[in-house]
Amino acid sequence: MRINSFKLTLSLCIFIYQFSLGADENLTLENKINSYLSEMSLEEKVGQILMVEIGYITPEEVQEYNIGAILNGGGSFPYKKNDHDAQDWMDLADEYYMASSMTSKGKKSMPVFWGTDAVHGHNNLRGATIFPHNIGLGATRNPQLVEEISSAVALEIIASGLDLTFAPAVSVPRDDRWGRTYEGFSEDPELVALLGKHSVIGFQGELGNNFLSSNKILSTAKHFIGDGGTLDGVDKGNTILSEEDLINIHAKGYVSTINAGVQFVMASFNSWNGNKLHGEEYLLTNLLKEQLEFDGVVLGDWNGHQEVSGCSVDSCAQAINAGLDMFMITDNWRGLFNNTLQQVKEGQISKARLDDAVKRILRVKFRYRLIQKGKPSSRIASPSINFIDYKQHREIARTAVQESLVLLKNNNNTLPLDPSKKILIIGEGSKKVSKATGGWSYSWQGSNVENSYFPGATTIYDGFLKIVKEGLGNIEYSEDGQYKTKPDVAILVIGENPYAEYQGSVENLVLTDVEFDHLDVASKLRQENIQVVTLFISGRPLWVNRELNASDAFVAAWLPGTEGAGVADILFINPNTKKEKDFKGKLPFSWPKSANQSSINFGDDSYSPLFSFGYGLSYKDSIQLNKLSEKLDTVTDSKLGNIILEGWPKSGMEVVLQSENEEVFLNSKNISTSNGKLLLDIFDTKIQEDSQRITFKGNTNSSWSLISSKPINWEREEKASGVLSIQIKILQKDSQDELYLSSSCGEDCGQSFGLNKFLDNIPKERWFVLGMPLKCLKENDVDLSNLFKPLIFNTQGAWSFELGKIYLEGGMGGKSIVSCESLKGDYE
Ligand code: BGC
Ligand code: BGC
């Protein structure tokens, strides 16, 4: 059944947009498009509907194929330069623009535009201001602030030569286990619609006013539709809803952003009632283009078309026929170009559908005046201002940090703190920018990015330090709760480590990322009459009853970004004015009272969260929070089934390369030791960045290790016949020098197993699962209660292999199990 009553309400909202452009203007625009289109060859049209990732296409190829657009993925930098600056981006943008503008060989040229995920600031660009993630902006409930942020981001994008952002996400996350929860403003569709609209106005300008004027860029509402509604919060999963519910819950952000003139809508990876959105004609064409009257570009997500049934990454007529206007594509763009061309020639894609897609792309390019703008470096209106690392932008971000903090507990009015007191700050998260910036920050996952990659940033600790110094108090920092001077108050900084997309999805809402025994530390401090304030950093609400009980005050800080110092502005009385700044933040998501309450949402029939949507104390309140239940409910805490690495290590884990006393942590897609003996590249097998390619060049002992920030205990898993399973594909073997697999429980504790004999029977170039029974470790005296490096590969030889998932499993089924016997005697 198709719901028609929505049609009317929805279309009523859209009319302002059509009218504010002006009828005459629309007419000239459409004439221009048609005349342009009539001069294009079929090949040129097909090229226009591709958006290709910069790592896979050169400016010359963009020109040759008349490619319509380019993008950089998360952590993909111009010229692959990790230490790039805005000039590098600008130089490459000029190259692509100039190449695509060339009219040699009688071609009809059309410049490309460049899209990027500026989802909380221009977050791939080193040195840019990184704002709180959307979840924090949802807590501010401040549409003007959101608009200001997007305007600031637009200036940073222009200053680096780009045109388009894949933001705002108008997702409505309904199950907090979803790894993208923080990308959404709220679980409440109305709040999402309001903030999404103002974000678009900030990026693109206001219709009838400064729409797409020289200091504005293009923007994208994503991911259409139902991305936040998947069953169990599974990323790219299935959203099972009636059309009425789908629209009521997940469409409001599209209505408001289309109304505000958004030029792109990105199709989602998820399915609706079993059908992948990239192939959903009813939703892409009938709902989005016809009922919602969207006249811009329906953009695909990262190779997202390949998930449509019957499609592959280089062939998907279904998606174009369903209403997709532009594919987002990586390495297989040539195949996709050739197949699409063929499909048009053979009539599998109608010429009319192709023309419609191209017209939409041209419409956006003309509206944005892409040709008149000239090359990116010629567009800078105020060359004297460096918009990257710009004081005004940092101030806006700091305000956003202040307004996003939500006070959940403040027994006995513990806060605000007096800066003349003795303050102890605990937790290395307080000093790590990457903990505060979360995913989509410099790299895709955002994990383990060193502070030096965020020049100009302040940490949460920096803010505390400054204010306590000014207040003439005493400040001490501790990683684990030990102190020299007995403090009056301890501030514990804890919470989630960075993640993005499916890598961040979890099974329940238990907090697992902790660098120290925060509960013990808190209880010891309180026994000594030291007040405890917990600052909680996270991309979603988690079950924190134990932490709440252990604290006198508790503040949800979300993912504040590079202006972490803003936290201190609220927690402390200002030493100069002697006044405090009050909390403004209100919960954008319902806060769970158990670890299983992940899909509780405002408006549910039986709504019983711990803190309701909209909750948030101010300094005027004096509410005492009583002791909460600490029972863990039905959640099991066995780690069997847990994935610990999938391209990127899961939270709490890191990958480090070692050669000749040098350690290199995995913090971007391509790393190597400086002696060039060990290389690691992250690449895509089934989904994005799900695999590693590791190359040992030989002649030097080098190692790849998975290390845990906190010792792991796998004793229980061993008792349950646990197996460490490693998806591996051997590319190059060294018959002389052994490849070792080891596990370490600290200095002089651990075991190495030589793998050569075992691998002799395994063909190269083939994926298989290497199963290492935990009992082999135990039998060889590895202390399973204290694993620091659960997995190490090391060798002197020239070995090369690929790693897929690494996970713990119960039982032996279907794997190439390393028998403990075969290993015995083989180790060093
Ligand atoms: C992200 C990209 C990222 C890519 C990595 C995608 O899911 O959105 O930005 O670079 O995966 O392969
Ligand atoms: C993500 C999008 C993103 C795109 C480009 C995808 O994996 O789902 O949100 O815009 O990659 O990086």
CB 652 within 8 Å of CB 819: no
Query: Is ligand 2 within 6 A of the CB of residue 166?
Result: yes
User: How many CB atoms sit inside 10 A of residue 488's CB?
Assistant: 16
Q: In this model, does residue 8 exceed pLDDT 50?
A: no
Report which bound ligand comes closest to the CA of 56.
Answer: 1
120 phi/psi in degrees, rounded to 5: -155, 65
* Cα 619 to ligand 2 centre (Å): 40
Ligand number, closest to the Cα atom of 266: 2
Q: How many CB atoms lie within 10 A of CB 482?
A: 11
- 23-38 vs 351-367: helix crossing angle, rounded to 10: 130
The amino acid sitting at 148 is: E
Give the integer Cα–Cα distance in Å for 652 and 649: 8
Ligand 2: distance of its center to the CA of 128 in Å? Answer: 20
Centroid of ligand 2 to alpha carbon of 441 (angstroms): 13
Pairing of strands 489-495, 422-426: parallel
With the most atoms of ligand 2 within 8 angstroms of its CB, the residue from 114, 117, 306 to mutate is 117
- What DSSP designation does 378 have? G
Q: Which of 57-71, 279-293, 718-732 has the lowest mean pLDDT?
A: 718-732
Say how far apart CA 609 and CA 762 lie, in whole Å: 53
Q: Which residues contact 720 (CB under 8 A, 6 or more apart)?
A: 638, 640, 810
Q: What HEC string does 722-784 produce?
A: EEEEEEEEEEECCCCCCEEEEEECCCCCEEEEECHHHHHCCCCCCEEEEEEEHHHHHHCCCCC
Of the candidates 140, 141, 162, 144, the residue with the CA atom closest to the CA atom of residue 153: 162
Atom of ligand 1 nearest to the CA of 440: 9
Alpha-carbon distance of 539 to 804, in angstroms, equals: 26
Ligand 1 pocket, residue 76 CB under 6 Å: yes
Q: Is 641 helix (H, G, I), strand (E, B) or coil?
A: coil
CA of 329 to the centre of ligand 1 (A): 11
* DSSP reduced 3-state for 255: helix
Using alpha carbons, list the distances in angstroms from residue 90 to 57, 63, 693.
17, 18, 31
Mutate to test the pocket of ligand 1, among 688, 690, 691 (most ligand atoms within 8 A of CB): 688
If phi > 0 it is left, if psi is from -120 to 50 it is alpha, else beta; for residue 624 that is beta
Query: Which pLDDT does position 104 carry in this prediction?
Result: 62
Q: What mean pLDDT do residues 793-814 have? A: 83
The number of the ligand 1 atom at minimal distance from the alpha carbon of 53 is 10
User: What's the pLDDT band for 105 if we cut at 50, 70, 90?
Assistant: low
Residue-level pLDDT at 820: 65
**pLDDT of the residue at 816:** 56
At 33-76, the pLDDT tens digits run 999 999 999 999 999 999 999 999 999 999 999 999 999 999 99
Query: Does ligand 1 lie within 6 Å of residue 330's CB atom?
Result: no
Q: Is the CB–ligand 2 distance for residue 773 below 6 Å?
A: no
Distance 302 CA to ligand 2 centre (A): 6
Tell me the two tokens of residue 153: 């981001």
Query: Which pLDDT score is estimated for 635?
Result: 54
- Give the distance, in angstroms, between the CA of residue 478 and the centroid of all CA atoms in the same chain: 29
Q: What is the distance between the alpha carbons of residues 642 and 505, in angstroms, rounded to a whole number?
A: 11
Burial (Cβ within 10 Å: 0-12, 13-18, ≥19) of residue 4: exposed
Ligand nearest to the CA of 183: 2
Element (DSSP H or E) covering residue 245: helix 243-250
Q: Are 419 and 467 in contact (CB under 8 A)?
A: yes
Q: Which ligand is nearest to the CA of 169?
A: 2
- Kindly give the distance from the C-alpha atom of residue 349 to the centroid of ligand 1, in angstroms, as a whole number: 28
SS3 490: strand
Is the C-beta atom of 647 inside 6 A of ligand 1? no
Q: Is 74 in the pocket of ligand 2 (CB under 6 A)?
A: yes
**pLDDT of the residue at 14:** 45
Most confident among 314-318, 651-655, 741-745 (mean pLDDT): 314-318
Pairing of strands 275-276, 326-329: unpaired
- Tell me what percent of the residues of the chain surpass a pLDDT of 70: 93
227 lines ligand 2 (CB under 6 A): no
Q: Is the CB of 117 under 6 A from ligand 1?
A: yes
CA distance 107 to 337: 17
Find out whether the beta carbon of 444 lies less than 6 Å from any atom of ligand 1: yes
Q: How do residues 206-262 score in pLDDT, each as one tens digit?
A: 999 999 999 999 999 999 999 999 999 999 999 999 999 999 999 999 999 999 999
Q: How far is the CA of 30 from the centre of ligand 2 (A)?
A: 30
Strands of the sheet containing 406-410, edge to edge, are: 406-410, 553-558, 531-537, 489-495, 422-426, 474-478
47 SS3 class: helix
Which pair of structure tokens corresponds to residue 703?
Answer: 């190692």
Q: How confident is the model at residue 13 (pLDDT cuts 50, 70, 90)?
A: very low
* Closest atom, ligand 1, to C-alpha of 74: 9
Q: Is 822 exposed, middle or buried (0-12, 13-18, 19+ CB in 10 A)?
A: middle
Q: Cα–Cα distance between 635 and 593 in angstroms, integer?
A: 13
Residue 688 Cβ < 6 Å to ligand 2: yes
Write out the H or E segment, with its range, that includes residue 474.
Answer: strand 474-478
Q: Ligand 1 within 6 A of 75 CB?
A: yes
**550-554, 682-686, 720-724: the lowest-pLDDT one:** 720-724
- How many contiguous H segments (helices) and E segments (strands) does the chain have? 25, 32
Residue 708's pLDDT band (cuts 50, 70, 90): confident
Listing DSSP states for 537-566 in one string gives: E-SS--B-HHHHHT-SEEEEEE---SBTTH
d(CA 634, CA 740): 40
Which of 183, 223, 303, 444 for mutating ligand 1's site (highest number of atoms within 8 Å of CB)? 444
Alpha-carbon torsion 477, 481, 487, 488, what sign?
Answer: positive
**Could you tell me where the beta strands, DSSP code E, fall in 117-174?**
164-165
Q: Which two tokens stand for residue 9?
A: 């309400």
Decide: helix, strand or coil at residue 578: coil
The alpha carbon of 309 and the centre of ligand 1 are apart by a number of angstroms equal to: 22
384 pLDDT tier (thresholds 50, 70, 90): confident
User: Quick check: CB of 504 below 6 Å from ligand 1?
Assistant: no
Q: Which ligand is nearest to the CA of 167?
A: 2
Report which ligand 2 atom has the smallest distance to the Cα of 268. 8
What spacing in Å lies between the alpha carbon of 303 and ligand 1's midpoint? 10
Give the whole-number percent of the chain exceeding pLDDT 90: 79
* DSSP helix/strand/coil, 536: strand
The pLDDT score that the predictor gives to residue 300 is 98
pLDDT band at 7 (very low <50, low <70, confident <90, very high): very low
| Cβ 684 under 6 angstroms from ligand 1 | yes
Summarize the confidence of residues 531-558 as an average pLDDT. Answer: 97
Instruction: Identify the pLDDT of residue 1.
Output: 35
Whether residue 147 has pLDDT greater than 90 = yes
Q: Which amino acid is at 648?
A: W
Burial label for 510, CB within 10 Å (0-12, 13-18, 19+), is middle
Distance CA(796)–CA(734), nearest Å, equals: 9
- pLDDT value for 756: 87
Place of tokens 């711990």: 610
Q: Which helix (H) or strand (E) holds 489?
A: strand 489-495
The closest residue, in CA terms, to atom 11 on ligand 1 is 688
Distance from the alpha carbon of residue 314 to the mean position of ligand 2, in angstroms:
18
**Residue 758 pLDDT:** 81
Instruction: Give the number of the atom of ligand 2 that is nearest the alpha carbon of residue 73.
Output: 12
Ligand 2 pocket, mutate which of 171, 182, 277, 302 (most atoms under 8 A from CB): 302
What local confidence, expressed as pLDDT, does residue 17 receive? 45
Q: Which ligand is nearest to the CA of 690?
A: 1
Q: Which amino acid is at 271?
A: S
pLDDT tens, residue by residue, 631-670: 876 555 455 567 889 999 987 789 999 999 999 999 999 9
Centre of ligand 2 to C-alpha 117, Å, is 7
Distance CA 579, CA 583 (A): 13
Ligand number nearest CA of 647 is: 1
Tell which one of 268, 307, 687, 689 to mutate to probe ligand 1, the residue whose CB is within 8 A of the most ligand atoms.
Answer: 689
Characterize 113-147 residue by residue with b for buried, 16 or more Cβ atoms within 10 angstroms of its Cβ, and e for exposed: bbbbbbbbbbbbbbbbbbbbbbbbbbbbbbbebbb
CB 638 within 8 A of CB 809: no
Tell how far the Cα of 266 is from the centroid of ligand 1, in angstroms.
Answer: 14
pLDDT in tens, 587-636: 999 999 998 899 999 999 889 999 999 999 999 999 999 999 988 765 55
Supply the residues annotated as catalytic: 301, 501
Give strand ranges (E) for 188-262. Answer: 218-224, 238-239
- The CB of 73 under 6 Å from ligand 2? The reply is yes
Going from the Cα of 186 to the center of ligand 2, the distance in angstroms, rounded, reads 19
Q: Would the CB of 562 count as within 6 Å of ligand 1?
A: no
Minimal-distance CA residue to ligand 2 atom 7: 302
Alpha-carbon distance 497 to 272, whole Å? 31
Q: Please report the pLDDT score of residue 809 as a whole number.
A: 74
Mean residue pLDDT across the chain: 92
Give the distance (Å) from ligand 2 centre to CA of residue 222: 9
The residue whose C-alpha atom lies closest to atom 6 belonging to ligand 1 is: 688
Name the residue of 53, 165, 222, 302 whose CB sits within 8 Å of the most ligand 1 atoms, as the mutation to test its pocket.
302
> Whole-angstrom Cα distance, residue 340 to residue 319?
11
DSSP states of 290-308: IIS---SEEEEEETGGGGS
* pLDDT category of residue 686 using cuts at 50, 70 and 90: confident
**Close Cβ partners of 140 (under 8 Å, ≥ 6 residues apart):** 146, 400, 403, 404, 584, 585
Count of other CB atoms within 10 angstroms of residue 105: 7
Q: What pLDDT score was predicted for residue 21?
A: 52
To 5 degrees, how large is the angle CA 75–CA 77–CA 79? 150
User: First vs last Cα of the chain: how many Å apart?
Assistant: 68
Task: Tell which residue, 203, 122, 221, has the closest CA to residue 166.
Answer: 221
Give the residue whose CA is nearest to atom 12 of ligand 1. 688
CA dist., res. 119 & res. 743, Å (int): 39
179 CB within 6 A, ligand 2: no
Q: How far apart are CA 810 and CA 636, in angstroms?
A: 14
> Is the pLDDT confidence value at 813 over 50?
no
Rounded CA separation 362/696 (Å): 48
Closest ligand, as measured to the CA of 503: 1
